[in-house]
Structure 1
């Protein structure tokens, strides 16, 4: 339905669209339900069996190149990698061999629902390559194709996934046979464990072989580098001591250096002692002491005597005075003791001096020996650099050889005891109930899918609905007044009309008795049909005022839109209201009005216009309304109808008839394909435009009126004919007049 630019899609419009398309929606929903139930009833039940496999995630810090992936720390990527390993063709091929599926014809049969089989048959029938035949395949190609088909079948029915964020993998296999599904699920777990053991054994074996070859190479290199060191020593006279492993020259140099250090220390100590005792002697400090003096018995004895004499001298000086002869004698004695002490100290100083000289001589000798030895060893320094380089290379190869030998022994032990950290924690058991199809879910899903398809098709139908449905569309698209809906008249409504009045027609004109829908406005004067025609009369009276006669043409864009029926009913209604009314059938090529009301007429409008026959001689009269009818009799050789309708004779006819009639209604040909209306538009006071409801495209009517400005400007309004009044409410906006048509029906009477 047409929406103005920028208009918002309202809820009631959506609901109205759903109500308009409910048949399509329900049809596809029901079709989806039937298909879903058919699939659920014919589908082969599938059983799913699951085996849980634990991949131990313990961290392996040992950088062993032979360690399997199960010995490493598993992160998300590693677990996902194991999922792909379980789904690999290597594992699937192992399962096929382990379970003997290649030789099981029952396993290779196609399974599925009846619909799936039908689709497969159709696809096979539409395979263009089969139409032209194919070359015979060899046995190898046939086996290969069979193997690929088996692998594809198992891969399609296998589901491997990680359980939450654990190291547990779920191996789920689906198959129509419950026991077979459990067997194959367990076979996948066993094949994975065997593959892990085999891959670890192969990795260990390959590593062992590589290590063995590498050890032999390292062993040879270690021997060669060790022999190179020995030859270098022999060639350059480099001899090592057995205890320290150093070269003899280096050992001697080290020992002399150590002795020189000791000698220098001894010299320093001897000099320090000699200088100390010399300073004591020079200063005359009798009470000063050195270490040798403290341990000398002579000095100790003299010092004791000196102290004793000094004590006695002090006592006697205090009693007898310092001038007493005994005091003087004691002083002399004390001086003698001091002299003796210094004499003893002088002898000690001489011994210190002697030790000093000995230490200096020894130090000088060591320095001379060290200088000579350094001179000798200086020539071998460059040789020692080369020796050290050879020794480092030899040590490197020796360490590598020892390391690889150790790893080789470990690899040999692991090869003897292959293990894997993956293990089955829950083996698949025979499922008791099928896992799919979920019949209720399938039916619900396909039904919802069908409803969705119905909604989509309904939306497309709504989008492509380019016909007139509402009065608002008439006003928006054409800019004309909307006169109303003329409903499609049913057979029951026709039977309920007032019977035809059988009274004779007044005047000299032969009677015409209208039947069926051609007299519905008279037979049901209180119906909604008659009310719309009265609206058209009122629009003519308002627009044309007191003008007499009112010449009104009934037109449409396309044939069979019902303009002849409306022309006759409108004219009969106006005549029934007491106005002198004439209806002229001017559709000379297809006089449908005349065929319906005066099928026996032999002459008509053509004779009036071409032969000059007075029109009053050809008139027919409807007895019950007093309506006069000028029929038309079609002629096959009549090709200039446009000139006749727009001729001076037609103008004279209308002027002559205007003396006797208040209203003259003219049934004209369709505007679209025929030019008659365009040519004769100047002769008419107004037009009533008839459009078939739900049939005639809006753009056709709009473009026609845009090219027929003379008709457009005189058009009183538009009548939508053959309308489904029950459906009009679905197209009208909430609050519009026609939205409440059902409430107005109590004012209408179809009987």
Structure 2
């Protein structure tokens, strides 16, 4: 017994170690899951490949023709002067622009018109075969039924449809980092594909030429209109210049005749001299005016008068006459003739002096007036000359402004005239920015579909889908398939795993062990018996309750065959306590209406009349199906009956109803020594099993579980069946009781 306990503890230790490694990726486990589903995955791959092959056979092959174009640098603009804003783009953007032009609807319409594709059977919708499911035709018929006229497509609609299909069949590609563009046409007709590719390339070049020609003509028209405006502007400017000259009386064609700066300077110098002379004359005049009150004597003393030559002469004559009078007065008397004569001369000299003084004073006054008038005249002349120069400068500025306007308009007019002549002379020069490098040739092999590649992709996709579905099914499977799952989640040992028997022998399931028809099945029942015996060898659990979570898990089959297996070593009684759905009488061909447990509890039959013996197994069938099975099972008479039976049999095996259907198993568990829980592999949800085990644990100890109806072929791939089988075989050897078992 110690050996068995030690083995059991070692097994639990290994189970704990396995649980601790749950977070480690088990590659072998993954491989086993995939290997188990290999047939499903292979079937999926075969089906997908067959469907794909069938589709590929019916697909119309497409042929791709390619024409290569070289895109040159942009041609120069018609106008040569620099614009304020340059809209030119980079080379990459320029190539993208040309690529977009190749994909334009206008070019596609040009190709459709040039090749007359609207009547070609490949594109003409009127010549297309009717589809298998004509939804549009059905809709047209429906609309016709409601009296709505169906309008036949016109030429414009057909051309639009054909153009759309041509654009769909055409693609453009930039070759590497070059200026080469590849024009691809992919359609079922190889010859037409080459023609369309070449038509696209040539149509693109022709459209570029048309565009340049149109641009040149448009530029010429614009320059003509602009030239007319410039000519009118020039004439208007010349008219304004001529009108200004005529209005101002300007006849000098080189400029405006002006007063020189020397004349103005000379006038200024003369004005300065006149001002100085006037100042001198004014000074003398002021002196004379100041002395005029003192008489002629004082006037004669004025420096301007005194310095006059005539005054000095008359002063000298007066002084001579006065000196003569003074000399004669010393010799003669006043009445001496000489004295009278001398005085007469003195008086005459004085009178002459006074007269001359008056004349000089009058001359000083006249000089002052003349100097004042001269200064005023020169000042006025200087002012007039200055104003005249300023007016002439203004006229000069205006004249030059008008002249500049005429000159600029003339230059612009001549520039446009020259460029217009150049444009007119070069408008018919080919200026296409593209040329065909390689013309398209009819392809010899189809480009689509690539059948081997598509089949390979379909196979790979089907394989990946099968693997994903396998793991999804594995993850969504909420049932028990392995023994360690039961031990881990329910914390109860697995006594045996019972294989799934072939369909042809399933009607004899209750007799399998009795007749020893299936070696693997019988060996599994023996393993279950061994585990039950070794569970507590010192104090055997006499009443064993066999139950499950839901119907059809095989609990009755397990109970029946377990009874036959235990009967080889012990006296055993099989009680059918499933009073709601009994099967024992049907499986062993008991007489109809034979009494059983229900009759025994109700007291309507004796024990000897209820017991049936098959081989070494005593059986107590359910008997008459009662209307109140739960009340019968909860009756005290059942307790007394079981106590009586314990004295007659070493083992009593009770076949109980499922735990999640009715509560009869709860009542029976309180009367049992142990519970054997049957779980159908890959069928019963884990939650139901856990709920049933939890409900029974408080009523009676669960000695173990049985994993029933397991597919050994699947189990063998995981290795769990042999591991379990080896464990039980080792347990049998440890007990040293092979003869009993």
Secondary structure of the corresponding residue to residue 521 of structure 1: helix
Contact 2:63 2:448 in 1 (8 A): yes
How big is the shift at 1:22? 1.9
Map of 1:613 onto structure 2: 605
Map of 1:352 onto structure 2: none
Kindly indicate whether residue 713 of structure 2 is the aligned counterpart of residue 726 of structure 1: yes
Contact 1:58 1:73 in 2 (8 A): no
Alpha-carbon distance in 2 for matches of 1:449, 1:456: 10
Map of 1:354 onto structure 2: none
When residues 611 and 531 of structure 1 are mapped into structure 2, their CA distance, relative to the original with a 3 A threshold, is same
Alpha-carbon distance in 1 for matches of 2:443, 2:595: 91
Secondary structure of the corresponding residue to residue 84 of structure 1: helix
Kindly indicate whether residue 586 of structure 2 is the aligned counterpart of residue 595 of structure 1: yes
Map of 1:133 onto structure 2: 143
* TM-score under structure 1 length normalisation: 0.71
Q: 1:163 aligns with which of 158, 165, 175?
A: 175
What does the per-residue CA deviation read over 1:461-490, in whole Å, with 9 as the maximum and x for residues that have no partner? 222211111112112322222223111123
Alpha-carbon distance in 2 for matches of 1:212, 1:703: 100
Residues paired across the two proteins, number: 595
Map of 1:301 onto structure 2: none
Map of 1:456 onto structure 2: 468
How big is the shift at 1:448? 2.2
What does the per-residue CA deviation read over 1:353-407, in whole Å, with 9 as the maximum and x for residues that have no partner? xxxxxxxxxxxxxxxx999966532233344444444334333333322222222
Contact 1:32 1:448 in 2 (8 A): no
Kindly indicate whether residue 459 of structure 2 is the aligned counterpart of residue 447 of structure 1: yes
Map of 2:68 onto structure 1: 52
How big is the shift at 1:640? 1.6
Map of 2:256 onto structure 1: 247
Map of 1:311 onto structure 2: none
Kindly indicate whether residue 105 of structure 2 is the aligned counterpart of residue 78 of structure 1: no
How big is the shift at 1:253? 5.1
Kindly indicate whether residue 132 of structure 2 is the aligned counterpart of residue 121 of structure 1: yes
How big is the shift at 1:668? 0.7
Contact 2:573 2:649 in 1 (8 A): yes
How big is the shift at 1:93? 0.7
Secondary structure of the corresponding residue to residue 435 of structure 1: coil
Alpha-carbon distance in 2 for matches of 1:606, 1:18: 51
When residues 90 and 390 of structure 1 are mapped into structure 2, their CA distance, relative to the original with a 3 A threshold, is same
Larger mean Cα displacement after TM superposition, 153-162 or 597-606: 597-606
Alpha-carbon distance in 2 for matches of 1:428, 1:594: 88
How big is the shift at 1:524? 4.2
How big is the shift at 1:109? 6.2
Map of 1:174 onto structure 2: 186
Q: How does 1:477-496 map to 2 (within 5 A)?
A: 477-490=489-502
Alpha-carbon distance in 1 for matches of 2:415, 2:263: 37
How big is the shift at 1:710? 3.2
Contact 1:732 1:739 in 2 (8 A): no
- Is there any run of 5+ residues in structure 2 with no aligned partner, and where? 1-17, 266-380
Map of 2:434 onto structure 1: 422
Map of 1:717 onto structure 2: 704
Contact 1:32 1:449 in 2 (8 A): no
How big is the shift at 1:231? 1.9
How big is the shift at 1:672? 1.0
Alpha-carbon distance in 1 for matches of 2:599, 2:471: 54
Alpha-carbon distance in 2 for matches of 1:552, 1:741: 23
Map of 1:343 onto structure 2: none
Secondary structure of the corresponding residue to residue 622 of structure 2: coil
When residues 612 and 685 of structure 1 are mapped into structure 2, their CA distance, relative to the original with a 3 A threshold, is farther
Alpha-carbon distance in 2 for matches of 1:618, 1:255: 166
Map of 2:552 onto structure 1: 560
Alpha-carbon distance in 2 for matches of 1:428, 1:109: 26
Q: How does 1:627-666 map to 2 (within 5 A)?
A: 627-635=617-625, 638-666=626-654
Secondary structure of the corresponding residue to residue 627 of structure 2: coil
When residues 160 and 549 of structure 1 are mapped into structure 2, their CA distance, relative to the original with a 3 A threshold, is closer
How big is the shift at 1:184? 1.2
When residues 226 and 533 of structure 1 are mapped into structure 2, their CA distance, relative to the original with a 3 A threshold, is same
Alpha-carbon distance in 2 for matches of 1:91, 1:3: 71
How big is the shift at 1:418? 4.2
Q: 2:216 aligns with which of 197, 204, 216?
A: 204
Alpha-carbon distance in 2 for matches of 1:475, 1:131: 68
How big is the shift at 1:592? 1.7
Q: 1:521 aligns with which of 502, 505, 513?
A: 513
Alpha-carbon distance in 1 for matches of 2:642, 2:518: 32
Alpha-carbon distance in 2 for matches of 1:612, 1:75: 108
Larger mean Cα displacement after TM superposition, 695-704 or 717-726: 695-704
When residues 128 and 138 of structure 1 are mapped into structure 2, their CA distance, relative to the original with a 3 A threshold, is closer
Map of 2:307 onto structure 1: none
- Is there any run of 5+ residues in structure 1 with no aligned partner, and where? 258-368, 495-514
Q: 2:576 aligns with which of 578, 585, 590?
A: 585
What does the per-residue CA deviation read over 1:297-343, in whole Å, with 9 as the maximum and x for residues that have no partner? xxxxxxxxxxxxxxxxxxxxxxxxxxxxxxxxxxxxxxxxxxxxxxx
What does the per-residue CA deviation read over 1:146-168, in whole Å, with 9 as the maximum and x for residues that have no partner? 22321222112112111111111
When residues 616 and 253 of structure 1 are mapped into structure 2, their CA distance, relative to the original with a 3 A threshold, is farther
Instruction: State the structure with more CA Rg.
Output: 2
When residues 650 and 740 of structure 1 are mapped into structure 2, their CA distance, relative to the original with a 3 A threshold, is closer
How big is the shift at 1:620? 1.4
Map of 1:469 onto structure 2: 481
Secondary structure of the corresponding residue to residue 603 of structure 1: coil
Alpha-carbon distance in 2 for matches of 1:620, 1:732: 41
Alpha-carbon distance in 1 for matches of 2:688, 2:111: 70
When residues 631 and 455 of structure 1 are mapped into structure 2, their CA distance, relative to the original with a 3 A threshold, is same
Secondary structure of the corresponding residue to residue 432 of structure 2: coil
Larger mean Cα displacement after TM superposition, 443-452 or 485-494: 485-494
Secondary structure of the corresponding residue to residue 50 of structure 1: strand
Map of 2:328 onto structure 1: none
Q: How does 1:366-381 map to 2 (within 5 A)?
A: 376-381=388-393
When residues 545 and 739 of structure 1 are mapped into structure 2, their CA distance, relative to the original with a 3 A threshold, is closer
Map of 2:693 onto structure 1: 705
Alpha-carbon distance in 2 for matches of 1:54, 1:676: 91
Q: How does 1:93-132 map to 2 (within 5 A)?
A: 93-108=109-124, 121-122=132-133, 124-125=134-135, 129=139, 132=142
What does the per-residue CA deviation read over 1:690-745, in whole Å, with 9 as the maximum and x for residues that have no partner? 1111111112222343455535x522221110111221244568x9935989999x
* TM-score under structure 2 length normalisation: 0.72
When residues 484 and 398 of structure 1 are mapped into structure 2, their CA distance, relative to the original with a 3 A threshold, is farther
Q: How does 1:689-704 map to 2 (within 5 A)?
A: 689-704=677-692
How big is the shift at 1:182? 1.0
Alpha-carbon distance in 1 for matches of 2:54, 2:445: 21
Alpha-carbon distance in 2 for matches of 1:221, 1:670: 113
Secondary structure of the corresponding residue to residue 143 of structure 2: coil
Secondary structure of the corresponding residue to residue 132 of structure 2: helix
Contact 1:615 1:653 in 2 (8 A): no
Secondary structure of the corresponding residue to residue 623 of structure 2: coil
Contact 2:69 2:182 in 1 (8 A): yes
What does the per-residue CA deviation read over 1:636-695, in whole Å, with 9 as the maximum and x for residues that have no partner? xx3321121222121111111011111100001111111211233211111111111111
Map of 1:23 onto structure 2: 39
